[in-house]
Amino acid sequence: MSTATTHTAEHPAGEYHGGLLRWLTTTNHKDIGTMYLTFSLIMFFVGGLMILAVRAELFSPGLQLMQPEFFNQLIGVHALVMIFAALMPAATGFANWMLPLMIGAPDMALPRLNNWGFWLLPPAAILLTLPFTLALFGIGDGALATGWTFYAPLSVQGGMGVDFAILAVHILGISSIMGSINIIVTIFNMRAPGMTMMKLPLFAWGWLITAFLLIATLPVLAGAVTMLLTDRHFGTHFFDAAGGGDPILFQHLFWFFGHPEVYILLLPVWGLMPHVLSTFSRKPTYGYKAQVYSFIAIGLLSVVVWAHHFFTAGMPVPALVYFMFSTMAISLPLAVLFFCWIATMWKGAMTFETPMLFAVGFIVLFGIAGLTGLILADVAADAQYHHSYFVVAHFHYALFAGGIMGVMTGVYYWLPKWTGHMYSEKLGKLHFWLTVVSFNLTFLPQFFLGLAGMPRRIPDYALQFAEFNAISTLGAFVLGFSQLLFAWNIWSCVRGGPKVESRVWEGAEGLEWELPSPPPHHTWEIQPVIK
Amino acid sequence: MTPAFTDADLARRRAASRRLGWLLGAVVLVIYLIGLFIKR
Amino acid sequence: MKTSPAHAEHYFVPQPSLYPVILSAGMFLLAFGFIQLINNFGPGKWVMLGGTAVILYVLFGWFGKVIGESQSGAYRDWEDRSFRYGMIWFIATEVMFFAAFFGALFYVRVISVPTLGGMEGAHGFSLWPEFAGTWPTSGPKGATFTPMGAWGIPALNTALLLSSGATVTWAHWGLLRNQRSHLILGLAATVLLGSTFLGFQAYEYHHAYTELGLTMGAGAYGATFFMLTGFHGFHVTLGTIMLAVILLRSLSGHFSADRHFAFEAVAWYWHFVDVVWLILFVFVYWV
């Protein structure tokens, strides 16, 4: 991209409200993106506080702080909050802010729907957490205590917290589906003239596949929890063998959504990585086409591998073998991605600003998630690892080091573009090192705990697990409190700081860097033409 | 703001990342070769 | 990649609107009231009623605004394409929603019921020796019931829905040829056929509950039967209401031969509901 002509004439048509009304009524993709990201940050701390309580309980053997029922509620709601209210909204916030800027669109294609998609989130978050408050007033017995997976028959027998979670999942699902439809339509219909699909930024490609996965799988989750609801209150027998149903049916339906959900959380991050790596290596992205085809291959494979989440539940051997090999097949396109990321950096003039630190940290730690995932995919080995802390460590390497650290990469990379100010590089680097060290301190011991046989979702444990659990808890508290640096850094960057140019990073390429920082309220009202 | 890097500095970094790439590749190859000799 | 200014068309970005946030509040009330109702605490029914009122207010207001914008010519080809893509992918989510319930039906028929009936062979014992594991069934411990036959009302309903698919296409031809009476007649016939379908379906449910002993509690058969036909019936209800709105709009002279996205969206939805019924007729009623 050589010449930069920006067209940012203020649009006279909009009657813009000030104050709270602006945020309630907005149809502007940047406002909505900001709301998504703010909501995500708040819920990140809410979910984090829940799990710090859990880690405090696990600091030493025995029950110190809470009853097992409350412990179970905390882990389940922690997972639902982190997945649906922290990670997914962060990715949607990125999409809202950046997709129109990157593809030269005047806004998202369906702006009012976009606003609705966001405003469904707070009611859902309230529904998820309200049972805790109600229990304080003697109504019900707290939130869902089944873990985030809602497995029948436990969830069929559970208290009213399960109903709250079911309805919350319905509303979150509607929100994500509306967001996905909007993103697909935006990418298909709003690209700048001349931007063919194979010139699309990889971030947009990653999100496009994510959106298709959400459309394919979230309705199935909605169906599954609806069956759960009717089993609980309207006498059906979907998950009850006495009526000809089967509890394992729930696991099939849940993981048909649940496995693609992992890629839903990760694909936006994989899409953003090449941009960051290429910027700070001052080199074009290596293997654009290979990455696009890998995204597509991973998207397709992800919907046909779900049963590896319950190898031990009982399945015919041919099914076990099929799900094992199809799961392992995902590592091939994923390895292509890793290769492209590394090749992008190779021979590059690399500099290590905070986003680049997070990106490189992401590659190393997410690599561990991928390799331990291969171990879990092995049917024979999985019998030992299943439902142990090994699994907990594995998916936190995937979803914290892969998901959350990927989101942090994006936040540091784009924050100067959004605010027009540079964040404190010193605090950013401190935040990175504290996060990486304490993250490994928290989760590396959990691999060994799992290998030694410690089951997950248990508030008490045998004495031989005490040391590693204590280390893990210490790490978790450092990890949790280091995130205050992150929040503080963002806050002070929003408030002020050194002004930045339109091209914030000297190696950055793409339409978004041709716009001023911060970009005006409406951008690309006259679309650029890509040659 | 990105600190300004001199051309010489960028050239040095290009060389360094190329060397590191070869080094990591060699380490992986060595681990792979060692693996061939481990019998279970 | 080079950029230069050339493309001068403006995309329609609507004014800020309060409807989305009010709709979310209404849905929260509906959900919260429903939870209260099924768990017997708080004034659940009234909260649900309030939520429904809020949602209805938004539906009238929001769709009213969109129709107003459409009539004022705010939407051109570019916006029209967005709506078309949006509707296509919305219907795709509906397809997957039904897929979940069909998946449950196939799972119980192919895997769980035969397994429950055939444990003796595989494991040398049987929890329920008297259970044959054949379909239809309400399971080893379920109540007795008579399954719904395919060739009475369901076959008639198939004919009704298929003809309604034909009449809505016929109405579309009328719209494309600018023959308004042809359009209105076709739409009215479609609404009538849809409503008749719903009437028969209601009668069938009454018959199932009072005479056949076929209830939602009648094991795997009752659960899949009522959830599949129930959600389908709900979608037919929505589709009929949508068709009625399109009919009213046609009566007030809306739509032209070259710009009638709302008509087509509802027609697509109606064909989708039609196809779901065909699959349903084959796998729930017939085989």
Q: What size, in residues, is chain B?
A: 40
What mean pLDDT do residues C188-211 have? 97
What mean pLDDT do residues A128-157 have? 94
Q: How many CB atoms lie within 10 A of CB C40?
A: 8
Question: Is a pLDDT exceeding 50 seen at residue A7?
Answer: no
Domains defined for chain A, CATH in brackets: 24-514 (1.20.210.10)
Q: Give the one of A2, A189, A235 whose C-beta lies nearest to C217's C-beta.
A: A235
pLDDT of residue C2: 44
Contacts with A342 from chain B: Cβ below 8 Å: 21
CA distance C83 to A5: 30
CA distance A483 to A54: 18
Tell me the torsion sign for CA atoms A93, A99, A101, A107. negative
Contacts with B9 from chain A: Cβ below 8 Å: 349
Q: Are C223 and A220 within 8 A, CB to CB?
A: no
CA distance C232 to C230: 5
Q: Which of residues 266-285 of A touch B (CB under 8 A)?
A: 281-282
What mean pLDDT do residues A439-448 have? 98
**Cα-based distances in Å from C154 to A161, A390, B22, C214:** 39, 52, 71, 15
Q: Give the one of B2, B4, B13 whose C-beta lies nearest to A350's C-beta.
A: B13
pLDDT of residue B1: 45
Tokens of A350: 């690399």
Residue C284, min C-alpha distance to chain A (Å):
15
- Closest residue in chain C to residue A14, using alpha carbons only: C15
Which of A280, A286, A351, A500 to substitute to test the interface with B, most B CBs within 10 Å? A351
pLDDT, mean over chain C: 93
What mean pLDDT do residues A94-99 have? 97
pLDDT tens across A346-358, in order?
999 999 999 999 9
Question: Is a pLDDT exceeding 50 seen at residue A178?
Answer: yes
Residue B8, min C-alpha distance to chain A (Å):
10
pLDDT of residue A16: 64
Q: Are A353 and B18 within 8 A, CB to CB?
A: no
Q: Are A526 and C104 within 8 A, CB to CB?
A: no
Interface partners of B (3+ CB pairs, < 8 Å)?
Answer: A
Contacts with A181 from chain C: Cβ below 8 Å: 86, 89-90, 93
Contacts with A422 from chain B: Cβ below 8 Å: 1
Interface partners of C (3+ CB pairs, < 8 Å)?
Answer: A
pLDDT tens across A52-70, in order?
999 999 999 999 999 999 9
pLDDT of residue C213: 93
Which of A102, A185, A196, A202 to substitute to test the interface with C, most C CBs within 10 Å? A185
What is the interface pTM, i.e. ipTM, of the complex?
0.94
Beta bridge partners of A464: none
pLDDT of residue C122: 61
If 0-12 CB within 10 Å is exposed, 13-18 middle and 19+ buried, where does residue A44 land?
buried
Query: Is residue C128 helix, strand or coil?
Result: coil
Contacts with A501 from chain B: Cβ below 8 Å: 1
pLDDT of residue A11: 42
Residue C182, min C-alpha distance to chain A (Å):
33
Residue B3 pLDDT level (bands cut at 50, 70, 90): low
Contacts with A346 from chain B: Cβ below 8 Å: 17-18, 21
**B30 interfacial to chain A (CB closer than 8 Å):** no
Tell me the torsion sign for CA atoms A392, A304, C232, C81. positive
pLDDT of residue A286: 96
Residue A5 pLDDT level (bands cut at 50, 70, 90): very low
pLDDT, mean over chain A: 94
pLDDT tens across C95-154, in order?
999 999 999 999 999 999 988 887 666 666 777 888 888 899 999 988 899 999 999 999
pLDDT of residue C123: 65
Contacts with C143 from chain A: Cβ below 8 Å: none
Of residues C143, C142, C159, the one with CA closest to residue C193: C159
- Closest residue in chain C to residue A257, using alpha carbons only: C100
Residue B39, min C-alpha distance to chain A (Å):
19
Q: Are A245 and C139 within 8 A, CB to CB?
A: yes
- Closest residue in chain A to residue B20, using alpha carbons only: A346
pLDDT tens across B17-39, in order?
999 999 999 999 999 999 999 88
Q: How many CB pairs under 8 A join A and C?
A: 273
What mean pLDDT do residues A311-324 have? 93
What mean pLDDT do residues A188-204 have? 96
Q: Are C14 and A527 within 8 A, CB to CB?
A: no
Residue A13 pLDDT level (bands cut at 50, 70, 90): very low
pLDDT tens across A475-506, in order?
999 999 999 999 999 999 999 999 999 999 98
Q: Give the one of B5, B11, B21 whose C-beta lies nearest to A351's C-beta.
A: B5
Question: Is a pLDDT exceeding 50 seen at residue A9?
Answer: no
Q: Are B14 and A351 within 8 A, CB to CB?
A: no
Q: Could you tell me what percent of chain A has a pLDDT over 90?
A: 95
Q: Are B5 and A505 within 8 A, CB to CB?
A: no
Query: Is residue A499 helix, strand or coil?
Result: strand
Q: Are A222 and C11 within 8 A, CB to CB?
A: no
Q: Are strands A528-530 and C3-5 parallel, antiparallel or unpaired?
A: antiparallel
Question: Is a pLDDT exceeding 70 seen at residue A6?
Answer: no
Q: Are A347 and B2 within 8 A, CB to CB?
A: no
Q: Could you tell me what percent of chain A has a pLDDT over 70?
A: 97
Q: Which helix (H) or strand (E) holds C4?
A: strand C3-5
Interface present between C and A (3 or more CB pairs within 8 Å):
yes
What mean pLDDT do residues A172-182 have? 97
Q: Give the one of C1, C14, C99 whose C-beta lies nearest to A112's C-beta.
A: C14
Interface present between C and B (3 or more CB pairs within 8 Å):
no
CA distance A351 to C45: 61
Contacts with A238 from chain C: Cβ below 8 Å: 104, 108, 220, 223-224
For tokens 């210490």, name the residue.
A474
Which of A237, A275, A304 to substitute to test the interface with C, most C CBs within 10 Å? A237
What mean pLDDT do residues A12-16 have? 50
Long-range (24+ apart) CB contacts under 8 A made by C87-94 are: C87/C265, C87/C268, C87/C269, C88/C268, C89/A180, C89/A181, C89/A184, C89/A185, C89/A215, C90/A177, C90/A181, C91/C268, C91/C269, C91/C272, C92/A215, C92/A216, C93/A177, C93/A181, C93/A215, C93/A218, C93/A219, C94/A219, C94/C235, C94/C272
Rg of chain B over Cα atoms, rounded to whole angstroms, equals: 17
Q: Are C93 and A218 within 8 A, CB to CB?
A: yes
Longest dimension (CA), chain B: 55
Q: Are B18 and A347 within 8 A, CB to CB?
A: yes
pLDDT tens across A240-263, in order?
999 999 999 999 999 999 999 999
Three-state secondary structure along A196-240?
CHHHCCHHHHHHHHHHHHHHHHHHHHHHHHHHHHHHHHCCCCCCC
